[in-house]
Amino acid sequence: MQERRLPLIGEPAPEFRAQTTHGPIDFPKDLKGKWVVFFSHPADFTPVCTTEFVSFAKRYPEFKALNAELVGLSVDHVYAHIKWVEWIKEKLGVEIPFPIVADTTGKIAELYGMIQPGESSVATVRAVFIISPNGIIRAILYYPLTVGRSTDEILRALKAIQVSLEKGVAIPANWPNNELVGDEVIVPPPGDLKAAQARLEEAKQGKLKCYDWWFCHRKL
C-alpha cells in the first residue's frame, strides 16, 4: 500500500465532502472565490480548544474583511460539535459563526496530516491551512495538542500572503512591525548584474530604500 504524503504549499487543497454544524460541505469547492483558514482542534469540550474557538469567533469580522472564511474540524461527531457550540454561547456569551466539520472516520484528518505520529491519542493536532480563492494551499502551520495558537499571527500571515501575491513583494519578519523596515515590504532581489546596478541607481534617486542591491524595501 502506498504511503500517503502530506499536502504541500503550492498544491491544491485535498477535496472532501462532510457534514458540518452548518450542514453539508463540499470542500473547498463551496468556498471558491474566498480565502479559507481551515484548522483542526484535538477535541470538543476541552479548555485550550475552547479558548481558541472564542478567539477565532471574536476576530471573525477581521477574517471576513480579508475575504476569508474559517472552517474548523475534529474527529468528534457533529452532535458533539453542536452541543459544544451551544455551551460556548450559553456559558461564555460567544457565538461561533463558522462551520465545524465532523470527521468521525478520521479520513479528512489523515488526508491533511492532522493526526501526527508520536501523539498519545488519535485526536487531531492543531493544524492550520491557509488556502487561496483558487483552492491552492498557501501556508501550513502545526502546533502540538498542548499549545494554543495565536489567532493574531494567523490573521497576520493571511494578510501578508495576500499582499505578497497581489503586489509581487516579500514580507519581512513581524510585519507590519519589522525591526529594520517597519511596515514596508521587501522588493525581490534582482536576478543579474545589470538589474543589480539599476537597483542601486533607483535607490540613489529615492525610488527605493536599500541596505544593498539585494536588500531593498519600499512602502506599499
pLDDT value of residue 25 = 98
What is the C-alpha to C-alpha distance for residues 177 and 185, in angstroms, rounded to an integer? 11
Please state the pTM of the whole predicted model: 0.93
Is residue 9 pLDDT above 60, yes or no?
A: yes
Summarised one tens digit per residue, pLDDT across range 88-136 is 999 999 999 999 999 999 999 999 999 876 554 567 889 999 999 999 9
| Listed range (23-32, 62-71, 142-151) with the worst mean pLDDT | 142-151
What is the C-alpha to C-alpha distance for residues 176 and 165, in angstroms, rounded to an integer? 16
Is residue 215 pLDDT above 60, yes or no?
A: yes
How many residues would you count in the chain?
Answer: 220
C-alpha cell at 37: 483558514
Cα 151 → chain centroid: 9
What is the C-alpha to C-alpha distance for residues 67 and 35, in angstroms, rounded to an integer? 6
Q: What is the mean pLDDT of the chain?
A: 94
Q: Does the active-site annotation cover 49?
A: yes
- Neighbour count for residue 53 (Cβ, 10 Å): 24
State which fold the 168-220 domain adopts: Antioxidant, Horf6; Chain A, domain 2 (3.30.1020)
Cα 37 to Cα 31, 201, 205, distances in angstroms: 11, 41, 41
pLDDT value of residue 117 = 66
Summarised one tens digit per residue, pLDDT across range 31-71 is 999 999 999 999 999 999 999 999 999 999 999 999 999 99
Domain ranges across the chain: 16-149, 168-220
> Is the domain covering 16-149 a CATH 3.60.21.10 domain?
no
Active site residue: 13, 49, 115, 155, which one? Answer: 49
Is residue 2 pLDDT above 50, yes or no?
A: no
Q: Which residues contact 217 (CB under 8 A, 6 or more apart)?
A: 172, 181, 184, 185, 186, 187, 208, 209, 210
